[in-house]
Structure 1
Amino acid sequence: MSDPRPNIVLVMTDQHAARVLGASGDRFAQTPALDALAARGTRFENCYCPSPLCVPSRMAFLTGLEPHVSGVLGNDDYLRSDIPTIAHAMGAAGYECRLIGRMHFYGPDQHHGFASRPIGDIGPSWPGSGAPDIGPLTSARGNRGPELEGSGRGETSYQAYDHAVTDHAEREINDLIRQRDSTGRPFFALVSLFCPHPPYIAQPEDYDSVVQTGVPPVRLPPPAHRHPALAEWAAAGGVDAVSASAIGKSRAAYYALVRMIDRLAGRVLATIADRTDTVAIYTSDHGEALGERGLWWKSTFHEESVKVPLIISGGGFGQAAVDQRVTSLMDLSATLLGLSHARNLPGHTGRDLRDGATWPDQCMSSYYGGLMNIRTTNVRHRMIRQGRYKLCWYDGHDPQLFDLWQDPDELNDIAGQETEILATLTQDVLAGWSPDVIRRTQQVSQARTNLIRDWVARCTPDEPTRWHDPNPERNKLQ
């Protein structure tokens, strides 16, 4: 008897804002493949990342553990190999699990339960072993305000990596399909692309198309008084010195990178287009501010940064449907476990998205600092979204409370007026989460990371799974 459980293909990107999607109502976004996926499935309107930063968000998705539970608080932190992931659970349930592309693992374990990884990461395997080499474009990497001046039309190793990942994904998924048809064994393929992550440099084909059709203007200008919890971060990132020219080039290139990843995701999804036994999913690890509120990149709890696209087609999800529930990437991983009939992961806090009857309409996200070369003091920030309200709690600063039904742009902080709601949500956001305990954890983690960085600098450990561009001369503006 054949196994009735579905195959699952998940395409994950890095830094794709939920709003920059045709299916989400952005008429400037050129995303026909993802829009078609949304027409075949369900788009989740209010999906949030567990942390608005790459490594903590991805590790929380894989484990179902919030960053303060797993210990992965920032981009330099390792996921311990004895913490099981969805790949361990799905593999134990009989699935063939393959990771194809980026996942931002640090340390010697570059698999974390995946049976194979045919192409490694473009990023470092160790803290301090260096960002991807983009040669003369390094000064345009895009992680500080002044670097945005180098945005525009060109080619980088980041794009080459995503094309290589897509080539591998097509081969691997076709191999998995043959295996399924031969043996009946279901598979899980996680295909992870690096773009539209900065640098904001896009290939001429995509950049020219976007410039021709245009991009939306910045809707939300810098506030007259930035919240103190964001002020240090904004100053360290130099966001207030970005010129109008750099804003225009960066936004155009970002939309062009989204156009590219849509095309690549479309190629991956085409491999399973005729498979009624396969669930297709698209998401990203966090969002992108893209100049809104005078902010860039991620690392805040504003909707632009903390909300992610999520589309699921197949597996019992409706067609051309929009789900308004408050959800999280950890709910997505719980759904993967449910679809595969795998056992739940210890401590997993996600909920299967197919269980609509008892949905609590709540999720958490947290941020502790650690955005590459924007160096600030360690922070302890946590957000709760509960129904219509969002509370942003900051250690050492006043909280912010927003009514997203009445104020979807988060312009009016109502913490001073809605004291009852503030008190209730504050109690919820602090439950099981101690800033003092986390502060001590951060101190130990920082000491460990400093030593590892010194070791990497002196000993240059091997990175056997790391991908290096065979044609680095491609890195130039055009």
Structure 2
Amino acid sequence: MTSRNAVIIMSDEHDPRVMGCSGHPFVKTPNLDALAASGVRFPNAYTPSPICVPARAAFATGMRVHQLALWDNAMPYTGATQGWGHLLQEQRVSVESIGKLHYRNEEDRAGFDKEHIPMHVVGGHGMVWASIRDPYITQAPGGKRMLGENIGPGESPYTSYDRAVTRSAIEWLKGASERQGVPFVLYIGLVAPHFPLTCPEEFYKLYPLDQIPEVKQHPSTGYQRHPWVQAYADFMPNEELFKSPEERLQAFAAYYGLVSFLDNSVGQIIQTLEEVGLADQTSVIYTSDHGDNLGARGVWGKSTLYQESVCVPMIVSGPSIEPGVCETPVDLLDLFPTILDAAGVNPTPHMSDRPGRSLLELAKLPAETERVMFSEYHAAGSNTAAFMVRKGRWKYHYYVRFEPELFDLQNDPEELENLAGKTEYATQLREMESVLRKICDPEAVDSQAKHDQAEMIARLGGIEKAATMGSGGATPAPAVAG
């Protein structure tokens, strides 16, 4: 049967390699594994920006961050640029959201008929303090560690929120089953495994501390971070703020546990689709806004261009999809045409300045391994812009005013050796920079981002006031009933 409905599930900060179906040696994700087995998994999937708000704006519109000029976590999507939701509304397809969006506010016409318990940027303005990039704040204000005050087993407002989102999604789907024949697109936004690294006990205990492996390239072993990455690590310290070696191990266990907690939520949603008779009419897409460094190189959170931060999970399943693995590189921009395609709306007339392609089509074609992927970063902890280009086996990081990095993902998938300084790779380095400059002028984009951020700060009352706006830590979850 041809799908007419679509359910998009977006988590937050999920490194795609932390799934059983990706070959992770011990993480338990039976529901995501089953979804991947029933559909197509794209193991080379990327975010347009490794931080929440710009990535989600790009996801909504199918446009790159520098096209939108929504640079950081204080410049949320408002609906001003047409998104896939608006196009669905024009075609009279029911389109609603449940959970985290991280747009500006519920009052904006962002492409949903209704937003259920939405989570948006704090105060409608977000992390304005992190937009102070020139002159540069060298350390995040507030003195709170990013990963949370209580690391380990327990409940947090985020886990309570995800439970409420899952319950709401289940009830929504039950209602949709009573409206058989009315096509719908439902977006579901879950927060896990985003910090704070506080994990429900039943999932936390799946990962004994004595089985946590050591991370790669930790500075304590003599590894020296790239200077741009070092500046970010100084800005957002985490390794230095663990209270004990045991608490550090608890952070890993909590992240893995939160992935399993997330997996459980996904399982409940998919089970409901089956129980109410919608599974054979509905495409299901699972992805995340970006990944998580998870201690690699002594860095936690997102915001770097390494695979663990800039890659996302991407699984598409549905009644017309042949199961398999597609090696074509893809990104969140591809979901713009994919969602329209899944809902029976032709995306072609709307793709003029959008680089995405429908995953439903790509999955049917031979792998296009040389397809170029691009990501950019202009946000917290960066005095200059950072750009990533992936083409085939080569992955290139361009940092304005810093030396670049070049990795051979075929021979070095963990990005352990930077080849940029080796003369035998000079030609490859030039070629990758040329690929980048066909997409954008990195210096001009960096300058524009800083200009826009400075204008915003001035409009909000200046640097002194901006330094206090949104500095209370992670975005608070909406109050939900237990």
> In structure 2, do the counterparts of structure 1 residues 335 and 377 end up closer, same or farther at CA, with 3 Å as the change threshold?
closer
Per-residue Cα deviation, 1:104-147 (whole angstroms, up to 9, x for no partner): 0125644511111121216524225999xxxxxxx99751xxx5
> In structure 2, do the counterparts of structure 1 residues 260 and 366 end up closer, same or farther at CA, with 3 Å as the change threshold?
same
The structure 2 residue matched to 1:347, chosen from 353, 375, 386, is: 353
> 1:3-402 residue pairs with structure 2 within 5 A?
5-107=3-105, 109-121=107-119, 123-127=121-125, 142-143=145-146, 150-179=150-179, 181=180, 184-211=181-208, 214-222=211-219, 224-243=223-242, 244-273=245-274, 274=277, 275-314=279-318, 316-319=320-323, 321-340=324-343, 341-343=345-347, 344-353=350-359, 354-355=361-362, 356=365, 359=368, 360-370=370-380, 376-402=381-407
Per-residue Cα deviation, 1:181-240 (whole angstroms, up to 9, x for no partner): 1xx221111101011100001112221232389443324423622111111111112245
Counterpart CA distance in 1 for 2:210 and 2:40 is 28
Per-residue Cα deviation, 1:399-443 (whole angstroms, up to 9, x for no partner): 111110011111111223322221111011122423234313422
> 1:405-444 residue pairs with structure 2 within 5 A?
405-415=410-420, 416=422, 417-434=424-441, 435-444=443-452
Residue aligned with 2:44, SS: strand
- Using the TM superposition, name which of 43-52 and 81-90 deviates more: 81-90
> In structure 2, do the counterparts of structure 1 residues 351 and 195 end up closer, same or farther at CA, with 3 Å as the change threshold?
same
- Paired residue for 1:468? 478
TM-score (norm 1): 0.86
- Using the TM superposition, name which of 36-45 and 433-442 deviates more: 433-442
- Using the TM superposition, name which of 217-226 and 360-369 deviates more: 217-226
Per-residue Cα deviation, 1:324-373 (whole angstroms, up to 9, x for no partner): 22111111322222223244255211112213358452210111122xxx
Deviation at 1:281, TM superposition (A): 1.5
TM-score (norm 2): 0.85
- Paired residue for 1:447? 455
Q: Is the 8 A contact 1:63 1:345 kept in 2?
A: no
Counterpart CA distance in 1 for 2:379 and 2:116 is 32
Q: Is the 8 A contact 2:283 2:318 kept in 1?
A: yes
Backbone CA RMSD of aligned residues: 2.9
Deviation at 1:453, TM superposition (A): 7.1
Residue aligned with 1:225, SS: coil
Deviation at 1:256, TM superposition (A): 1.0
> In structure 2, do the counterparts of structure 1 residues 443 and 129 end up closer, same or farther at CA, with 3 Å as the change threshold?
closer
Q: Is the 8 A contact 2:52 2:290 kept in 1?
A: yes
> In structure 2, do the counterparts of structure 1 residues 141 and 43 end up closer, same or farther at CA, with 3 Å as the change threshold?
farther
Q: Is the 8 A contact 2:207 2:256 kept in 1?
A: yes
Residue aligned with 1:431, SS: helix
Q: What count of residue pairs does the alignment treat as equivalent?
A: 447
Q: Is the 8 A contact 2:148 2:195 kept in 1?
A: no
Residue aligned with 2:87, SS: helix
The answer for unaligned runs of 5 or more in structure 2 is 130-141, 471-475
Deviation at 1:267, TM superposition (A): 0.8
Counterpart CA distance in 1 for 2:199 and 2:120 is 17
Deviation at 1:19, TM superposition (A): 0.8
Overall identity of the aligned pairs, in %: 30
Q: Is the 8 A contact 1:87 1:112 kept in 2?
A: yes
- Using the TM superposition, name which of 122-131 and 220-229 deviates more: 122-131
> In structure 2, do the counterparts of structure 1 residues 278 and 377 end up closer, same or farther at CA, with 3 Å as the change threshold?
closer
> In structure 2, do the counterparts of structure 1 residues 446 and 19 end up closer, same or farther at CA, with 3 Å as the change threshold?
same
Deviation at 1:82, TM superposition (A): 2.6
Counterpart CA distance in 1 for 2:460 and 2:150 is 32
Tell me which amino acid in the other structure corresponds to 2:291: G
Residue aligned with 2:110, SS: coil
Residue aligned with 1:170, SS: helix
Q: Is the 8 A contact 1:76 1:449 kept in 2?
A: no
Counterpart CA distance in 2 for 1:470 and 1:129 is 23
Q: Is the 8 A contact 1:28 1:216 kept in 2?
A: no
> In structure 2, do the counterparts of structure 1 residues 109 and 399 end up closer, same or farther at CA, with 3 Å as the change threshold?
farther
> In structure 2, do the counterparts of structure 1 residues 205 and 105 end up closer, same or farther at CA, with 3 Å as the change threshold?
same
- Using the TM superposition, name which of 76-85 and 95-104 deviates more: 76-85
Q: Is the 8 A contact 1:300 1:306 kept in 2?
A: yes
The answer for unaligned runs of 5 or more in structure 1 is 132-138, 371-375, 461-465
> In structure 2, do the counterparts of structure 1 residues 214 and 6 end up closer, same or farther at CA, with 3 Å as the change threshold?
farther
Residue aligned with 1:155, SS: coil
Counterpart CA distance in 2 for 1:433 and 1:268 is 40
Counterpart CA distance in 2 for 1:425 and 1:252 is 38
- Using the TM superposition, name which of 234-243 and 388-397 deviates more: 234-243
Q: Is the 8 A contact 1:140 1:149 kept in 2?
A: no
Counterpart CA distance in 2 for 1:458 and 1:57 is 24
Q: Is the 8 A contact 2:5 2:342 kept in 1?
A: no
- Using the TM superposition, name which of 202-211 and 38-47 deviates more: 202-211
Tell me which amino acid in the other structure corresponds to 1:270: Q
